[in-house]
Amino acid sequence: MPGSDHQPRLPAILTVDDDPAVSRAVARDLRRHYGERYRIIRAESGADAIDALKELKLRGDTVAVLVADYRMPQMSGIEFLEKAMDVFPLARRVLLTAYADTTAAIDAINVVDLDHYLLKPWDPPEEKLYPVIDGLLEEWRAVGDRGMPYTKVIGHRYNDRSWEVRQFLARNQYSFRSVNADEPKGAQLLEAAGLDDSRLPVVITEKGERLVAPTDAELAALLGLSTSPQLEMYDLAVIGGGPAGLAAAVYGASEGLKTVLIEKATTGGQAGRSSKIENYLGFENGVGGAALTTTARRQAERFGAEVITTQEAGRLKAGGIGAAHTIHLNGDATIGARAVILATGVDYRQLEIAGCWNDPGSPDENFIGRGVYYGASVSDNAECAGEDVFIVGGANSAGQAAMYMSQTAKSVTMLIRGQSIEAGMSQYLVDRIVQTPNITVKTCTEVVDTTAEDGHLAGLTLLNKRTGETESVRCDRMCCFIGAVPRTQWLEEAGIARDDHGFILSGPDLRDKVGWTLDRPPHHLETSVPGVFVAGDVRSESAKRVAAAVGEGSMAVMLVHRYLAET
Protein backbone atom coordinates (compact mmCIF):
# COMPACT_ATOMS: atom_id res chain seq x y z
CA MET A 1 0.00 0.00 0.00
CA PRO A 2 1.42 3.43 -0.87
CA GLY A 3 2.44 5.39 2.21
CA SER A 4 1.64 2.50 4.56
CA ASP A 5 4.53 1.10 6.61
CA HIS A 6 2.23 -0.24 9.32
CA GLN A 7 3.61 -3.05 11.40
CA PRO A 8 1.44 -4.77 14.00
CA ARG A 9 2.21 -3.15 17.36
CA LEU A 10 2.01 -4.82 20.73
CA PRO A 11 -1.05 -4.08 22.86
CA ALA A 12 -0.31 -1.92 25.88
CA ILE A 13 -0.56 -2.29 29.63
CA LEU A 14 -0.72 1.18 31.18
CA THR A 15 0.05 1.88 34.82
CA VAL A 16 -0.40 5.21 36.64
CA ASP A 17 0.79 6.11 40.15
CA ASP A 18 1.77 9.55 41.50
CA ASP A 19 4.58 8.08 43.62
CA PRO A 20 7.60 7.80 41.25
CA ALA A 21 9.14 4.95 43.24
CA VAL A 22 5.94 2.91 43.21
CA SER A 23 5.34 3.79 39.53
CA ARG A 24 8.77 2.46 38.58
CA ALA A 25 8.29 -0.67 40.70
CA VAL A 26 4.94 -1.48 39.10
CA ALA A 27 6.31 -0.94 35.58
CA ARG A 28 9.41 -3.04 36.41
CA ASP A 29 7.39 -6.00 37.63
CA LEU A 30 5.02 -5.82 34.65
CA ARG A 31 7.84 -5.46 32.12
CA ARG A 32 9.71 -8.41 33.61
CA HIS A 33 6.80 -10.77 33.05
CA TYR A 34 4.92 -9.24 30.08
CA GLY A 35 7.49 -7.09 28.26
CA GLU A 36 7.90 -9.45 25.30
CA ARG A 37 4.18 -9.59 24.53
CA TYR A 38 2.94 -6.17 25.66
CA ARG A 39 4.13 -2.58 25.73
CA ILE A 40 4.41 -1.36 29.32
CA ILE A 41 3.57 2.34 29.59
CA ARG A 42 3.72 4.24 32.88
CA ALA A 43 2.48 7.67 33.90
CA GLU A 44 2.76 9.64 37.18
CA SER A 45 -0.56 11.48 37.04
CA GLY A 46 -4.06 10.80 35.85
CA ALA A 47 -3.93 13.69 33.37
CA ASP A 48 -0.71 12.39 31.81
CA ALA A 49 -2.20 8.92 31.58
CA ILE A 50 -5.32 10.21 29.81
CA ASP A 51 -3.13 12.07 27.30
CA ALA A 52 -1.17 8.88 26.68
CA LEU A 53 -4.39 6.93 26.08
CA LYS A 54 -5.64 9.51 23.58
CA GLU A 55 -2.37 9.34 21.67
CA LEU A 56 -2.56 5.54 21.59
CA LYS A 57 -6.12 5.81 20.28
CA LEU A 58 -5.09 8.16 17.49
CA ARG A 59 -2.27 5.84 16.46
CA GLY A 60 -4.64 2.89 16.27
CA ASP A 61 -2.98 1.03 19.17
CA THR A 62 -4.88 -1.04 21.74
CA VAL A 63 -4.76 -1.16 25.53
CA ALA A 64 -5.34 -4.46 27.29
CA VAL A 65 -5.08 -3.54 30.99
CA LEU A 66 -5.19 -0.30 33.00
CA VAL A 67 -3.57 -0.32 36.47
CA ALA A 68 -4.25 2.81 38.56
CA ASP A 69 -3.40 3.82 42.11
CA TYR A 70 -6.43 4.81 44.17
CA ARG A 71 -4.93 7.79 46.06
CA MET A 72 -3.64 10.37 43.54
CA PRO A 73 -3.96 14.17 43.76
CA GLN A 74 -6.02 16.12 41.19
CA MET A 75 -7.47 12.90 39.75
CA SER A 76 -8.06 9.78 41.81
CA GLY A 77 -7.60 6.30 40.42
CA ILE A 78 -11.37 5.83 40.19
CA GLU A 79 -11.79 9.14 38.34
CA PHE A 80 -8.99 8.13 35.94
CA LEU A 81 -10.51 4.73 35.21
CA GLU A 82 -13.90 6.35 34.61
CA LYS A 83 -12.38 8.70 32.00
CA ALA A 84 -10.27 5.92 30.51
CA MET A 85 -13.42 3.87 29.84
CA ASP A 86 -14.47 6.50 27.27
CA VAL A 87 -11.24 5.94 25.33
CA PHE A 88 -10.70 2.18 25.67
CA PRO A 89 -13.98 0.75 26.98
CA LEU A 90 -12.88 -2.89 26.74
CA ALA A 91 -9.55 -2.54 28.55
CA ARG A 92 -9.47 -4.44 31.85
CA ARG A 93 -9.35 -2.15 34.92
CA VAL A 94 -7.29 -2.73 38.07
CA LEU A 95 -7.16 -0.46 41.14
CA LEU A 96 -4.15 -0.44 43.50
CA THR A 97 -5.24 0.19 47.07
CA ALA A 98 -3.98 0.16 50.63
CA TYR A 99 -5.75 -2.01 53.20
CA ALA A 100 -7.56 1.04 54.61
CA ASP A 101 -9.11 1.78 51.20
CA THR A 102 -10.67 -1.62 50.63
CA THR A 103 -14.22 -0.30 51.05
CA ALA A 104 -13.64 2.40 48.43
CA ALA A 105 -12.25 -0.22 46.06
CA ILE A 106 -15.33 -2.36 46.46
CA ASP A 107 -17.54 0.67 45.76
CA ALA A 108 -15.48 1.29 42.59
CA ILE A 109 -16.58 -2.06 41.22
CA ASN A 110 -19.99 -0.50 40.66
CA VAL A 111 -18.76 2.95 39.58
CA VAL A 112 -16.24 1.96 36.90
CA ASP A 113 -17.07 -1.71 36.45
CA LEU A 114 -13.77 -2.51 38.13
CA ASP A 115 -12.32 -5.90 37.20
CA HIS A 116 -10.00 -6.30 40.20
CA TYR A 117 -8.35 -4.46 43.05
CA LEU A 118 -4.88 -5.26 44.37
CA LEU A 119 -3.62 -4.56 47.86
CA LYS A 120 -0.20 -2.96 48.15
CA PRO A 121 2.40 -4.33 48.57
CA TRP A 122 1.92 -7.41 46.37
CA ASP A 123 5.24 -9.19 46.96
CA PRO A 124 5.93 -11.67 45.67
CA PRO A 125 4.43 -10.68 42.25
CA GLU A 126 4.53 -14.32 41.12
CA GLU A 127 1.80 -15.08 43.67
CA LYS A 128 -0.16 -11.84 44.06
CA LEU A 129 0.25 -9.83 40.83
CA TYR A 130 0.89 -12.04 37.82
CA PRO A 131 -2.00 -14.53 38.30
CA VAL A 132 -4.46 -11.62 38.45
CA ILE A 133 -3.07 -9.91 35.35
CA ASP A 134 -2.84 -13.25 33.51
CA GLY A 135 -6.53 -13.85 34.07
CA LEU A 136 -7.50 -10.35 32.95
CA LEU A 137 -5.37 -10.62 29.79
CA GLU A 138 -7.00 -13.95 28.96
CA GLU A 139 -10.43 -12.33 29.28
CA TRP A 140 -9.34 -9.35 27.18
CA ARG A 141 -7.97 -11.55 24.41
CA ALA A 142 -11.23 -13.52 24.28
CA VAL A 143 -13.27 -10.35 23.72
CA GLY A 144 -10.69 -8.35 21.83
CA ASP A 145 -10.31 -4.59 21.66
CA ARG A 146 -8.70 -4.12 18.32
CA GLY A 147 -8.76 -0.43 17.53
CA MET A 148 -8.55 0.75 13.95
CA PRO A 149 -4.88 0.15 13.03
CA TYR A 150 -5.06 2.39 9.97
CA THR A 151 -5.51 5.98 8.99
CA LYS A 152 -8.92 7.28 10.05
CA VAL A 153 -11.13 9.66 8.06
CA ILE A 154 -13.65 11.47 10.23
CA GLY A 155 -16.28 13.12 8.10
CA HIS A 156 -19.98 13.43 7.61
CA ARG A 157 -22.32 11.44 5.45
CA TYR A 158 -23.44 14.56 3.58
CA ASN A 159 -20.18 16.49 3.50
CA ASP A 160 -18.99 16.57 -0.11
CA ARG A 161 -15.33 17.02 0.76
CA SER A 162 -15.47 14.02 3.10
CA TRP A 163 -16.61 11.91 0.14
CA GLU A 164 -13.85 13.31 -2.08
CA VAL A 165 -11.17 12.53 0.50
CA ARG A 166 -12.40 8.95 0.88
CA GLN A 167 -12.36 8.56 -2.89
CA PHE A 168 -8.82 9.94 -3.17
CA LEU A 169 -7.48 7.48 -0.61
CA ALA A 170 -9.49 4.51 -1.90
CA ARG A 171 -8.54 5.03 -5.53
CA ASN A 172 -4.89 5.04 -4.50
CA GLN A 173 -5.40 1.75 -2.62
CA TYR A 174 -4.52 3.39 0.70
CA SER A 175 -5.81 1.57 3.77
CA PHE A 176 -8.09 3.64 6.00
CA ARG A 177 -11.25 3.46 8.04
CA SER A 178 -14.07 5.95 7.67
CA VAL A 179 -16.29 7.11 10.52
CA ASN A 180 -18.89 9.86 10.77
CA ALA A 181 -18.39 12.71 13.20
CA ASP A 182 -21.95 12.34 14.53
CA GLU A 183 -21.32 8.73 15.56
CA PRO A 184 -19.89 7.88 19.00
CA LYS A 185 -16.64 6.59 17.49
CA GLY A 186 -16.13 9.73 15.41
CA ALA A 187 -16.91 12.05 18.31
CA GLN A 188 -14.49 10.09 20.48
CA LEU A 189 -11.69 10.40 17.94
CA LEU A 190 -12.28 14.14 17.48
CA GLU A 191 -12.20 14.67 21.23
CA ALA A 192 -8.99 12.66 21.53
CA ALA A 193 -7.46 14.82 18.79
CA GLY A 194 -8.56 18.02 20.51
CA LEU A 195 -10.79 18.96 17.56
CA ASP A 196 -14.48 19.47 16.86
CA ASP A 197 -16.70 18.94 13.83
CA SER A 198 -16.56 22.56 12.60
CA ARG A 199 -13.97 21.70 9.92
CA LEU A 200 -14.49 18.35 8.28
CA PRO A 201 -13.10 16.05 7.15
CA VAL A 202 -10.33 15.28 9.60
CA VAL A 203 -7.71 12.70 8.66
CA ILE A 204 -5.78 11.07 11.50
CA THR A 205 -2.83 9.12 10.21
CA GLU A 206 -1.56 5.85 11.55
CA LYS A 207 1.17 7.81 13.34
CA GLY A 208 -1.35 10.09 15.03
CA GLU A 209 -0.80 13.10 12.76
CA ARG A 210 -3.88 15.29 12.23
CA LEU A 211 -4.87 16.70 8.84
CA VAL A 212 -7.80 19.10 9.10
CA ALA A 213 -9.80 19.60 5.88
CA PRO A 214 -6.75 18.44 3.85
CA THR A 215 -6.18 19.46 0.25
CA ASP A 216 -5.46 16.89 -2.46
CA ALA A 217 -1.82 17.95 -2.36
CA GLU A 218 -1.65 17.20 1.38
CA LEU A 219 -3.26 13.81 0.81
CA ALA A 220 -0.77 13.10 -1.97
CA ALA A 221 2.07 13.92 0.42
CA LEU A 222 0.58 11.52 2.98
CA LEU A 223 0.58 8.77 0.35
CA GLY A 224 4.09 9.58 -0.82
CA LEU A 225 2.93 10.65 -4.29
CA SER A 226 4.87 13.12 -6.41
CA THR A 227 3.20 16.48 -6.94
CA SER A 228 5.76 18.41 -8.98
CA PRO A 229 7.89 17.51 -12.03
CA GLN A 230 11.61 16.96 -11.50
CA LEU A 231 12.70 18.09 -14.98
CA GLU A 232 11.94 21.00 -17.27
CA MET A 233 12.11 18.96 -20.49
CA TYR A 234 10.88 15.47 -21.32
CA ASP A 235 10.79 13.25 -24.36
CA LEU A 236 7.13 12.43 -23.71
CA ALA A 237 4.44 14.08 -21.62
CA VAL A 238 1.25 12.09 -21.02
CA ILE A 239 -1.72 14.18 -19.90
CA GLY A 240 -4.26 12.12 -17.99
CA GLY A 241 -3.87 9.09 -15.73
CA GLY A 242 -6.62 6.73 -16.85
CA PRO A 243 -5.89 3.34 -18.46
CA ALA A 244 -4.77 4.96 -21.75
CA GLY A 245 -2.42 7.38 -20.01
CA LEU A 246 -1.01 4.74 -17.69
CA ALA A 247 -0.36 2.37 -20.59
CA ALA A 248 1.40 5.17 -22.47
CA ALA A 249 3.56 5.94 -19.42
CA VAL A 250 4.49 2.26 -18.97
CA TYR A 251 5.49 1.76 -22.62
CA GLY A 252 7.13 5.16 -22.97
CA ALA A 253 9.34 4.75 -19.91
CA SER A 254 10.10 1.09 -20.56
CA GLU A 255 11.31 1.98 -24.06
CA GLY A 256 13.75 4.59 -22.88
CA LEU A 257 11.80 7.84 -23.23
CA LYS A 258 12.02 10.39 -20.44
CA THR A 259 8.34 10.24 -19.58
CA VAL A 260 6.11 12.25 -17.27
CA LEU A 261 2.42 11.62 -16.60
CA ILE A 262 0.30 14.53 -15.34
CA GLU A 263 -2.96 13.78 -13.52
CA LYS A 264 -5.14 16.44 -11.88
CA ALA A 265 -6.62 14.17 -9.20
CA THR A 266 -5.89 10.46 -8.84
CA THR A 267 -4.73 7.99 -11.43
CA GLY A 268 -7.30 5.54 -12.76
CA GLY A 269 -9.86 7.72 -14.52
CA GLN A 270 -13.35 6.30 -14.74
CA ALA A 271 -11.94 2.78 -14.64
CA GLY A 272 -10.47 3.56 -11.23
CA ARG A 273 -13.97 4.22 -9.93
CA SER A 274 -15.28 0.86 -11.08
CA SER A 275 -15.93 -1.59 -8.27
CA LYS A 276 -15.10 -4.49 -10.59
CA ILE A 277 -14.06 -4.96 -14.22
CA GLU A 278 -15.04 -8.48 -15.21
CA ASN A 279 -14.41 -8.56 -18.96
CA TYR A 280 -10.79 -7.41 -18.97
CA LEU A 281 -8.52 -9.99 -20.56
CA GLY A 282 -6.53 -12.15 -18.16
CA PHE A 283 -8.60 -11.71 -15.00
CA GLU A 284 -10.86 -14.73 -14.73
CA ASN A 285 -12.70 -13.45 -11.66
CA GLY A 286 -12.56 -9.79 -12.59
CA VAL A 287 -10.42 -7.04 -11.07
CA GLY A 288 -11.23 -3.92 -9.09
CA GLY A 289 -10.69 -0.73 -11.07
CA ALA A 290 -8.61 0.91 -8.35
CA ALA A 291 -6.46 -2.20 -7.92
CA LEU A 292 -5.79 -2.47 -11.65
CA THR A 293 -4.89 1.17 -12.18
CA THR A 294 -2.85 1.50 -8.98
CA THR A 295 -0.76 -1.48 -10.09
CA ALA A 296 -0.33 0.16 -13.50
CA ARG A 297 0.88 3.37 -11.86
CA ARG A 298 3.48 1.48 -9.84
CA GLN A 299 4.55 -0.36 -12.97
CA ALA A 300 5.10 2.94 -14.78
CA GLU A 301 7.10 4.29 -11.85
CA ARG A 302 9.22 1.12 -11.76
CA PHE A 303 10.26 1.77 -15.36
CA GLY A 304 11.26 5.32 -14.46
CA ALA A 305 8.20 7.36 -15.44
CA GLU A 306 7.40 10.35 -13.27
CA VAL A 307 3.77 10.23 -12.20
CA ILE A 308 2.61 13.64 -11.00
CA THR A 309 -0.75 13.97 -9.24
CA THR A 310 -2.78 17.02 -8.13
CA GLN A 311 -1.42 18.97 -11.10
CA GLU A 312 -3.69 20.03 -13.93
CA ALA A 313 -2.67 20.89 -17.47
CA GLY A 314 -4.35 24.21 -18.16
CA ARG A 315 -2.85 25.22 -21.49
CA LEU A 316 -0.87 23.62 -24.32
CA LYS A 317 1.35 25.70 -26.54
CA ALA A 318 2.33 23.74 -29.62
CA GLY A 319 5.90 23.96 -30.84
CA GLY A 320 6.98 23.92 -34.43
CA ILE A 321 8.16 20.84 -36.31
CA GLY A 322 10.87 19.21 -34.22
CA ALA A 323 10.43 21.78 -31.45
CA ALA A 324 9.18 21.07 -27.96
CA HIS A 325 5.60 21.65 -26.91
CA THR A 326 4.97 23.65 -23.72
CA ILE A 327 2.47 22.54 -21.11
CA HIS A 328 1.28 25.03 -18.50
CA LEU A 329 0.40 23.43 -15.17
CA ASN A 330 -1.18 24.75 -11.95
CA GLY A 331 -0.06 28.28 -11.24
CA ASP A 332 2.91 29.39 -13.32
CA ALA A 333 4.65 26.02 -13.63
CA THR A 334 5.52 24.80 -17.13
CA ILE A 335 7.23 21.77 -18.64
CA GLY A 336 8.43 21.05 -22.16
CA ALA A 337 8.03 17.81 -24.12
CA ARG A 338 9.14 16.68 -27.56
CA ALA A 339 5.91 14.72 -27.90
CA VAL A 340 2.59 14.74 -26.06
CA ILE A 341 -0.12 12.10 -25.62
CA LEU A 342 -3.53 13.44 -24.64
CA ALA A 343 -5.38 10.89 -22.50
CA THR A 344 -7.58 13.20 -20.47
CA GLY A 345 -10.62 10.94 -20.65
CA VAL A 346 -14.17 12.10 -20.03
CA ASP A 347 -16.44 13.22 -17.22
CA TYR A 348 -19.93 11.89 -16.66
CA ARG A 349 -22.57 14.20 -18.07
CA GLN A 350 -24.54 15.97 -15.35
CA LEU A 351 -28.29 15.90 -14.93
CA GLU A 352 -29.57 19.39 -15.63
CA ILE A 353 -32.18 19.38 -12.91
CA ALA A 354 -32.38 21.09 -9.52
CA GLY A 355 -29.58 20.07 -7.16
CA CYS A 356 -27.75 17.87 -9.65
CA TRP A 357 -25.42 20.13 -11.63
CA ASN A 358 -22.77 22.75 -11.11
CA ASP A 359 -24.44 25.87 -12.49
CA PRO A 360 -23.10 29.06 -10.85
CA GLY A 361 -26.15 30.95 -12.08
CA SER A 362 -28.69 28.54 -10.65
CA PRO A 363 -30.46 29.51 -7.41
CA ASP A 364 -30.97 25.83 -6.57
CA GLU A 365 -28.94 24.12 -3.85
CA ASN A 366 -26.32 21.69 -5.11
CA PHE A 367 -26.49 18.15 -3.74
CA ILE A 368 -23.37 16.84 -5.49
CA GLY A 369 -21.44 14.97 -2.81
CA ARG A 370 -24.49 15.13 -0.56
CA GLY A 371 -26.60 12.38 -2.00
CA VAL A 372 -25.91 12.99 -5.71
CA TYR A 373 -22.79 11.37 -7.18
CA TYR A 374 -21.35 11.10 -10.67
CA GLY A 375 -19.80 7.68 -10.86
CA ALA A 376 -19.87 5.37 -7.86
CA SER A 377 -18.04 5.21 -4.59
CA VAL A 378 -15.07 2.88 -4.47
CA SER A 379 -14.15 3.55 -0.86
CA ASP A 380 -16.54 1.19 0.90
CA ASN A 381 -19.89 -0.23 -0.07
CA ALA A 382 -20.80 0.05 3.62
CA GLU A 383 -21.40 3.73 2.80
CA CYS A 384 -24.75 2.77 1.31
CA ALA A 385 -25.73 0.19 3.93
CA GLY A 386 -29.48 0.22 4.46
CA GLU A 387 -30.05 2.94 1.86
CA ASP A 388 -32.47 3.22 -1.03
CA VAL A 389 -30.07 3.77 -3.95
CA PHE A 390 -30.93 4.86 -7.49
CA ILE A 391 -28.57 4.29 -10.43
CA VAL A 392 -29.14 6.49 -13.49
CA GLY A 393 -27.78 4.91 -16.66
CA GLY A 394 -27.74 1.61 -18.49
CA ALA A 395 -24.14 0.92 -19.55
CA ASN A 396 -21.66 -1.50 -17.96
CA SER A 397 -20.39 1.04 -15.43
CA ALA A 398 -23.92 1.56 -14.14
CA GLY A 399 -24.50 -2.19 -13.97
CA GLN A 400 -21.30 -2.81 -12.02
CA ALA A 401 -22.23 -0.06 -9.56
CA ALA A 402 -25.68 -1.59 -9.07
CA MET A 403 -24.20 -5.02 -8.33
CA TYR A 404 -21.62 -3.56 -5.94
CA MET A 405 -24.09 -1.47 -3.95
CA SER A 406 -26.71 -4.22 -3.81
CA GLN A 407 -24.43 -6.09 -1.41
CA THR A 408 -25.31 -3.71 1.43
CA ALA A 409 -28.05 -1.35 0.21
CA LYS A 410 -31.67 -1.86 1.20
CA SER A 411 -32.69 -1.50 -2.44
CA VAL A 412 -31.11 -0.52 -5.75
CA THR A 413 -33.23 0.86 -8.58
CA MET A 414 -31.77 1.32 -12.05
CA LEU A 415 -33.35 4.10 -14.14
CA ILE A 416 -32.91 3.63 -17.88
CA ARG A 417 -34.24 5.98 -20.54
CA GLY A 418 -34.29 3.25 -23.21
CA GLN A 419 -36.74 0.42 -23.59
CA SER A 420 -34.45 -2.37 -22.38
CA ILE A 421 -31.39 -2.89 -20.26
CA GLU A 422 -29.86 -5.21 -22.86
CA ALA A 423 -29.34 -2.38 -25.36
CA GLY A 424 -26.30 -0.88 -23.63
CA MET A 425 -24.99 -3.51 -21.26
CA SER A 426 -22.99 -6.73 -21.59
CA GLN A 427 -25.20 -9.80 -21.31
CA TYR A 428 -23.25 -11.38 -18.43
CA LEU A 429 -24.01 -8.29 -16.36
CA VAL A 430 -27.66 -8.18 -17.41
CA ASP A 431 -28.08 -11.79 -16.24
CA ARG A 432 -26.63 -11.02 -12.82
CA ILE A 433 -28.78 -7.94 -12.33
CA VAL A 434 -31.94 -9.86 -13.19
CA GLN A 435 -31.00 -12.54 -10.64
CA THR A 436 -30.31 -10.06 -7.80
CA PRO A 437 -33.46 -9.75 -5.67
CA ASN A 438 -32.94 -6.21 -4.34
CA ILE A 439 -32.21 -4.67 -7.77
CA THR A 440 -35.15 -3.25 -9.73
CA VAL A 441 -34.86 -2.02 -13.32
CA LYS A 442 -37.19 0.75 -14.53
CA THR A 443 -37.02 1.31 -18.28
CA CYS A 444 -38.32 4.37 -20.19
CA THR A 445 -37.82 6.34 -16.96
CA GLU A 446 -35.90 9.51 -16.17
CA VAL A 447 -35.41 11.84 -13.20
CA VAL A 448 -37.16 15.18 -13.57
CA ASP A 449 -36.85 16.68 -10.09
CA THR A 450 -35.33 16.23 -6.63
CA THR A 451 -36.42 16.90 -3.07
CA ALA A 452 -34.18 17.89 -0.17
CA GLU A 453 -33.99 17.33 3.55
CA ASP A 454 -31.55 19.21 5.80
CA GLY A 455 -29.42 20.21 2.82
CA HIS A 456 -29.05 16.79 1.21
CA LEU A 457 -30.89 14.64 -1.31
CA ALA A 458 -33.97 12.95 0.11
CA GLY A 459 -36.18 12.04 -2.85
CA LEU A 460 -36.72 12.00 -6.61
CA THR A 461 -39.54 12.68 -9.02
CA LEU A 462 -39.55 10.11 -11.82
CA LEU A 463 -41.21 10.39 -15.21
CA ASN A 464 -42.39 7.31 -17.07
CA LYS A 465 -41.93 8.36 -20.71
CA ARG A 466 -44.16 5.55 -21.88
CA THR A 467 -47.22 6.63 -19.89
CA GLY A 468 -46.39 10.26 -19.09
CA GLU A 469 -47.05 9.62 -15.38
CA THR A 470 -44.81 10.84 -12.58
CA GLU A 471 -44.11 9.37 -9.16
CA SER A 472 -42.24 10.55 -6.08
CA VAL A 473 -39.82 8.14 -4.43
CA ARG A 474 -37.59 8.14 -1.39
CA CYS A 475 -33.89 8.25 -2.37
CA ASP A 476 -30.86 8.28 -0.06
CA ARG A 477 -28.25 8.15 -2.83
CA MET A 478 -28.30 8.68 -6.59
CA CYS A 479 -25.32 7.71 -8.75
CA CYS A 480 -25.34 8.92 -12.35
CA PHE A 481 -23.71 7.29 -15.39
CA ILE A 482 -25.33 9.19 -18.25
CA GLY A 483 -22.88 9.73 -21.05
CA ALA A 484 -19.54 11.39 -21.47
CA VAL A 485 -18.25 14.96 -21.69
CA PRO A 486 -14.64 15.19 -22.98
CA ARG A 487 -12.05 17.19 -21.07
CA THR A 488 -10.82 19.22 -24.01
CA GLN A 489 -11.78 22.85 -23.36
CA TRP A 490 -8.20 23.70 -22.40
CA LEU A 491 -6.92 22.71 -25.87
CA GLU A 492 -8.64 25.48 -27.85
CA GLU A 493 -5.58 27.74 -27.91
CA ALA A 494 -3.41 24.93 -29.30
CA GLY A 495 -5.72 24.61 -32.32
CA ILE A 496 -6.35 20.90 -31.90
CA ALA A 497 -9.27 19.81 -34.10
CA ARG A 498 -12.30 18.33 -32.33
CA ASP A 499 -15.62 16.95 -33.47
CA ASP A 500 -18.98 18.57 -32.77
CA HIS A 501 -19.10 17.01 -29.31
CA GLY A 502 -15.61 18.13 -28.28
CA PHE A 503 -13.82 14.80 -28.78
CA ILE A 504 -10.38 14.96 -30.39
CA LEU A 505 -10.01 14.04 -34.06
CA SER A 506 -6.96 12.08 -35.16
CA GLY A 507 -5.42 10.19 -38.06
CA PRO A 508 -7.83 9.43 -40.92
CA ASP A 509 -10.58 11.48 -39.23
CA LEU A 510 -8.56 14.62 -40.00
CA ARG A 511 -9.22 14.38 -43.72
CA ASP A 512 -10.63 17.63 -45.08
CA LYS A 513 -9.95 19.36 -41.75
CA VAL A 514 -8.12 22.63 -41.65
CA GLY A 515 -4.85 22.76 -39.73
CA TRP A 516 -2.66 19.90 -40.92
CA THR A 517 0.49 21.43 -42.42
CA LEU A 518 2.83 18.53 -43.25
CA ASP A 519 3.23 16.74 -46.57
CA ARG A 520 2.81 13.35 -44.93
CA PRO A 521 -0.60 12.24 -43.62
CA PRO A 522 -1.06 12.26 -39.83
CA HIS A 523 -0.22 9.07 -38.00
CA HIS A 524 -3.19 7.01 -36.89
CA LEU A 525 -3.51 8.56 -33.38
CA GLU A 526 -1.90 11.90 -34.22
CA THR A 527 -3.98 15.03 -33.76
CA SER A 528 -4.09 18.08 -36.04
CA VAL A 529 -0.91 19.30 -34.29
CA PRO A 530 2.13 17.22 -35.32
CA GLY A 531 3.73 15.46 -32.36
CA VAL A 532 0.58 15.61 -30.24
CA PHE A 533 -1.25 12.27 -30.05
CA VAL A 534 -4.51 11.15 -28.47
CA ALA A 535 -5.56 7.89 -26.80
CA GLY A 536 -8.52 6.54 -24.91
CA ASP A 537 -12.03 7.83 -24.34
CA VAL A 538 -11.21 11.43 -25.27
CA ARG A 539 -10.56 10.38 -28.88
CA SER A 540 -13.43 10.80 -31.31
CA GLU A 541 -15.24 7.51 -32.03
CA SER A 542 -13.22 5.58 -29.43
CA ALA A 543 -14.46 2.22 -28.14
CA LYS A 544 -14.97 3.40 -24.52
CA ARG A 545 -13.57 0.17 -23.10
CA VAL A 546 -10.62 -0.34 -20.74
CA ALA A 547 -8.87 -2.79 -23.04
CA ALA A 548 -9.24 -0.45 -26.01
CA ALA A 549 -7.83 2.47 -24.00
CA VAL A 550 -4.81 0.41 -22.91
CA GLY A 551 -4.21 -0.66 -26.51
CA GLU A 552 -4.39 2.91 -27.79
CA GLY A 553 -2.03 4.14 -25.07
CA SER A 554 0.61 1.59 -26.03
CA MET A 555 0.07 2.17 -29.76
CA ALA A 556 0.46 5.92 -29.30
CA VAL A 557 3.96 5.38 -27.89
CA MET A 558 4.93 3.41 -31.01
CA LEU A 559 3.75 6.35 -33.13
CA VAL A 560 5.64 8.78 -30.89
CA HIS A 561 8.85 6.89 -31.67
CA ARG A 562 8.04 7.16 -35.37
CA TYR A 563 7.43 10.90 -35.06
CA LEU A 564 10.63 11.51 -33.07
CA ALA A 565 12.65 9.58 -35.65
CA GLU A 566 11.31 11.88 -38.37
CA THR A 567 12.26 15.13 -36.63
pLDDT at position 496 is 93
Rounded Cα distance between 546 and 563, Å, is 26
Average of pLDDT values for 481-485?
Answer: 86
Which candidate, 133, 119, 149, 171, places its Cα nearest to that of 57? 149
Rounded Cα distance between 355 and 451, Å, is 9
pLDDT tens sequence across 231-289: 999 999 999 999 999 999 999 999 999 999 999 988 988 887 777 788 888 877 678 78
Please report, for residues 177, 208, 522, the alpha-carbon distance to residue 134 in angstroms, rounded to integers and kept in the order given: 32, 30, 78
pLDDT > 50? residue 209: yes
Could you tell me the pLDDT band of residue 360, with boundaries at 50, 70 and 90?
low
pLDDT tens sequence across 32-41: 999 999 999 9
Please report, for residues 45, 139, 179, 237, the alpha-carbon distance to residue 12 in angstroms, rounded to integers and kept in the order given: 17, 15, 24, 50
HSE (side-chain half, CA atoms, 13 Å) at 102: 4
**CA–centroid distance for 436 within its chain:** 27
pLDDT tens sequence across 54-78: 999 888 889 999 999 988 888 888 8
Percent of the chain with pLDDT over 90: 51
pLDDT at position 67 is 93
Could you tell me the pLDDT band of residue 110, with boundaries at 50, 70 and 90?
low
pLDDT tens sequence across 494-528: 989 999 999 999 998 887 776 787 888 999 999 99
pLDDT top residue among 120 and 506: 506
Candidate from 314-328, 406-420, 551-565 with smallest mean pLDDT: 314-328
pLDDT > 80? residue 100: no
pLDDT tens sequence across 418-431: 999 998 899 989 99
pLDDT at position 104 is 63
Could you tell me the pLDDT band of residue 106, with boundaries at 50, 70 and 90?
low
pLDDT top residue among 99 and 447: 447
**CA–centroid distance for 402 within its chain:** 19
Could you tell me the pLDDT band of residue 148, with boundaries at 50, 70 and 90?
very low
pLDDT > 60? residue 135: yes
pLDDT > 80? residue 87: yes
Q: What average pLDDT does the chain have?
A: 88
Domains of the chain, CATH where assigned: 12-143 (3.40.50.2300), 151-223 (3.40.30.10), 233-347+509-534+543-566 (3.50.50.60), 372-482 (3.50.50.60)
Q: Give 317's contacts (C-beta < 8 A, 6+ positions apart).
A: 325, 326, 327, 328, 493, 494
Q: 0.85 exceeded by the pTM?
A: no
